[in-house]
């Protein structure tokens, strides 16, 4: 996740209207991680066949999101300078592969969420 954070952060730094690229990169990464967790829960719900009420689902989702955000804030946002130093000397080939991995992660996370994710009843 550190590398994905770095790549998103570097891309967002190039957007002139973006005042907080490090924070926005963190938000995007946490949203993608939550989508993946919710997709996994939906798949488990399908096979185990249990229902979650809408109120409980929304409340637990918000709590989970804020917990994940707090963890990632401490591990990624708080150490953004260290992360940037670690990856700033990557080669063109490494950057190309990293971009492919990142785009695949983003696309698959969103597509799988909408295909496999079952909305709460």
The 10s digit of each residue's pLDDT in 4-61 is 988 998 888 888 888 888 889 999 999 998 888 888 888 877 788 777 777 877 788 7
Residue for token digits 């399908």? 46
- pLDDT tier for residue 121 given thresholds of 50, 70 and 90: very low
Work out the percent of the chain whose per-residue pLDDT is above 70. Answer: 97
The model's pTM is: 0.80
Q: How many domains does the chain have?
A: 1
For residue 31, the enclosing domain spans 2-116
Cα(30)–Cα(75) distance, integer angstroms: 12
121 domain residue, yes or no: no
77 domain residue, yes or no: yes
Q: What stretches of 1-121 adopt beta strand conformation (E)? A: none
Six token digits for residue 22: 């490090």
Q: CB–CB of 30/68 below 8 Å? A: yes
């Amino acid at each position: 996740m550190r590398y994905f954070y770095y790549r998103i952060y570097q891309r967002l730094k190039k957007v002139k209207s973006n005042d907080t690229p490090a924070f926005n990169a963190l938000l995007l990464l946490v949203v993608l991680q939550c989508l993946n967790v919710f997709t996994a829960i939906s798949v488990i719900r399908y096979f185990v066949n249990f229902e979650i009420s809408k109120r409980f689902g929304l409340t637990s989702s918000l709590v989970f999101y804020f917990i994940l955000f707090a963890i990632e804030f401490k591990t990624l946002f708080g150490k953004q300078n260290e992360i940037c130093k670690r990856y700033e000397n990557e080669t063109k080939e490494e950057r190309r592969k990293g971009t492919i991995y990142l785009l695949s992660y983003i696309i698959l996370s969103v597509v799988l969420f909408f295909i496999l994710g079952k909305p709460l009843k």
